[in-house]
Amino acid sequence: MKNKDLKDVLVGIIIISVVLLIFFLGAKYKGLLIFSTQPPSSEAFQEQEAEHTDYTIQAIQNISSCQDLTNPNTIYRLNQTITATTDPCLYVKANNITIDCNGHTIFGNDKISIKASNRNNLTIINCTFVESRKAMHLENCTGVFISNINVINGSLGGGTGIYAKYIKGGFLNNSIINQLEYGIHFYNASDFIITNSSFKSNAIGIFMDFEVTNISVLSNRFENNSEGLYPSHSIGNNISNNTFINNSRPIPFPAVLSYITFPVNVTFLARFIKSSVATAMPSYAPPTVGPAIFVIRHNGSFILPNVSVNVTPNITEEASPIAGKITSFGIAPIKRKGMAYEKCKALFKLQNISFEKKDLAPNEEFKTRIEFAVPWTTLTKIPLIFKLYANNVKIKDFICPISVDIPDFMFDIVTSEDSFAVCLLFNPTKLSCPNGAYEFELDLDKNHWTSVADHYGPIRTVKPILIAYEFSIDPSMLKKIKTASLRLYCKGKIIKKKTIPLWR
């Protein structure tokens, strides 16, 4: 290679290295910890998605006759009343299917109206079944959700409303099952919830046959059945808050001892609540002093078991911590990740979160009492996340702002033995600064104003942010400092100023 060519290559490598070095140093010394404190768009609680699996429905297909349902991720919607001409009439042959009868009727004609075998995530809603041998035949299925159905007059005075064999995980709600041999026939089934439904004039309302476990029968009505509920071979189930009227034998005595525990599996319940029921409506009015009381009202039609709540501040780290040095202070920032953030976060720390863990009935309120780690200051205005649990399984998240209206400017100092954190929260929507570039100066004991922007550059934002800087300092020097002042600038003009005591 010629010397000139070699020289050109070396020059190119040097230029690339310099560019990369500038980029790296620019990112490293930017110097801001930014945490979004944008309040929810609604003045009330904003619901978040729960962490359980999301079942996405991608298409709607109208049907008007008996057929095989072969497309996954589809809502099959009945657009007219139909009579079974095949057995079964509707045969589910894919996962994640919803059958919405849209208020129409399926006349069973002594056949199976809906059949599903070896399927996951099946939803059946808004259906009426008349004269079916089996309205729904479900076998080897997981995650079955049935709501707002009406099953009447089984074929030849017999028939079964729901035949559930080898079923794991399901939910029946707001349904009527009348004049059948078996309203529901469970065989080797588990993790099923039956609530807010009516069983009338059946031979057996619910028949639990062979290894039926973890079935919860909550807030239902059994009327004029020969046997309201017959748990033949079942253990570890729960029956509570049901009404039994004029049944020949409501519950056979030998099986009563099976209903001691409350092991309802709400992992499946969470999906049903998310998609079908407005479970809770939190509300809140902030006090001027003292603890805050938060109220969650249960608007569902069934009991939520063993309810509890977890509350945390809604602060999310969005950028790297600062690294660098402010020489005019004679003190240097702590470079370990998250130190300033953790100290400023202490301003939002919650303590003594108390509530009564209990079963939550429809229209009942669940109250949570929260005390803050520090007295109420302007910096406690930040949203909270409420995680609602039933039997230690998360049902839903809610965001509640302590104050929807974030002030224009807030400033505080958090001290420790040999360091202090500067915490600045401001709201650009309430400040007149057209280009959105802010700078600020810090002063200790009115001794010397130092521009932080000179070292870290201006702050550019159009939404509320929390900025955290932390500085190490000799403990003896720190104890002598009595006040800290901050001035916020826009285009060289002071727009906000505040002085606070360092120790309080």
Handedness of CA 392, 398, 404, 407 (dihedral sign): positive
In a domain? residue 228:
yes
**Predicted pLDDT at 274:** 47
pLDDT surpasses 50 at 92: yes
What's the CA gap between 138 and 163, in Å, rounded? 6
| pTM greater than 0.85 | no
- How many folded domains does the chain comprise? 1
Quick check: 426 and 464 in contact, CB under 8 A?
Answer: yes
Stretch 306-316: mean pLDDT: 76
Handedness of CA 34, 40, 43, 46 (dihedral sign): negative
In a domain? residue 80:
yes
Read off the pLDDT of residues 41-57 as tens digits, 9 standing for 90 and up.
333 444 444 343 344 44
**Predicted pLDDT at 348:** 65
What's the CA gap between 191 and 264, in Å, rounded? 7
In a domain? residue 137:
yes
Percentage, residues of the chain above pLDDT 70: 64
> Which distant-in-sequence residues (6+ apart) come within 8 Å of 270 by Cβ?
50, 52, 393, 394, 395, 396
In a domain? residue 104:
yes
pLDDT surpasses 90 at 83: yes
Show the CA angle centred on residue 447, arms to residues 444 and 451, nearest 5°. 70
The model's confidence at residue 282, banded by pLDDT at 50, 70 and 90, is: low
Look at the chain and count its residues: 504
- Token reading at 24: 């790296």
**Predicted pLDDT at 240:** 78
Average model confidence (pLDDT) for the chain? 73
Read off the pLDDT of residues 97-135 as tens digits, 9 standing for 90 and up.
999 999 999 999 999 999 999 999 999 999 999 999 999
Most confident of 34-43, 74-83, 210-219, 335-344: 74-83
Beta partners for residue 19, in sequence order: none
Tally of CA atoms within 13 A in the half-sphere of 351 that contains its CB: 9
In a domain? residue 435:
no
What's the CA gap between 253 and 258, in Å, rounded? 10
Most confident of 281-285, 402-406, 458-462, 478-482: 478-482
pLDDT surpasses 60 at 403: no
In a domain? residue 310:
no
Stretch 402-411: mean pLDDT: 65
**336 vs 318: which has the higher pLDDT:** 318
The model's confidence at residue 452, banded by pLDDT at 50, 70 and 90, is: low
Domain interval for residue 160: 64-272
Beta partners for residue 333, in sequence order: 471
In a domain? residue 69:
yes
**301 vs 440: which has the higher pLDDT:** 440
| DSSP H/E element including 162 | strand 160-165
* Concatenated DSSP letters of 469-492: EEEE--HHHHHH--EEEEEEEETT
Number of other CB atoms surrounding residue 125 within 10 Å: 19
What's the CA gap between 482 and 489, in Å, rounded? 24
For β-strands 120-130 and 142-152, DSSP reports them as parallel
Stretch 440-465: mean pLDDT: 71
The model's confidence at residue 456, banded by pLDDT at 50, 70 and 90, is: low
Among left, alpha and beta (phi > 0; psi -120 to 50; other), residue 15 is: alpha
What's the CA gap between 332 and 326, in Å, rounded? 6
In a domain? residue 205:
yes
- Burial code of 314-339, b = ≥16 C-beta within 10 A, e = fewer? bbebeebbbbeebeebebbbbeeeeb
**Predicted pLDDT at 382:** 60
For β-strands 437-444 and 459-460, DSSP reports them as antiparallel
Handedness of CA 454, 460, 464, 465 (dihedral sign): negative
Read off the pLDDT of residues 236-257 as tens digits, 9 standing for 90 and up.
777 877 888 898 875 653 333 2
What's the CA gap between 50 and 108, in Å, rounded? 38
**Predicted pLDDT at 331:** 38
Tell the burial category of 485 from Cβ atoms under 10 Å away from its Cβ (0-12, 13-18, 19+): middle
* Domain CATH code at residue 240: 2.160.20.10
**Percentages (nearest 5) of helix, strand, coil residues in the chain:** 15, 45, 40
**443 vs 470: which has the higher pLDDT:** 443
**Predicted pLDDT at 483:** 85
Percentage, residues of the chain above pLDDT 90: 26
Quick check: 211 and 188 in contact, CB under 8 A?
Answer: yes
The model's confidence at residue 342, banded by pLDDT at 50, 70 and 90, is: low
Three-class SS state of 298:
strand
Stretch 477-502: mean pLDDT: 84
CA distances from 386 to 46, 201, 265, 310 (A): 10, 44, 21, 6
**Predicted pLDDT at 327:** 31
**Predicted pLDDT at 165:** 96
- Token reading at 114: 């809906």
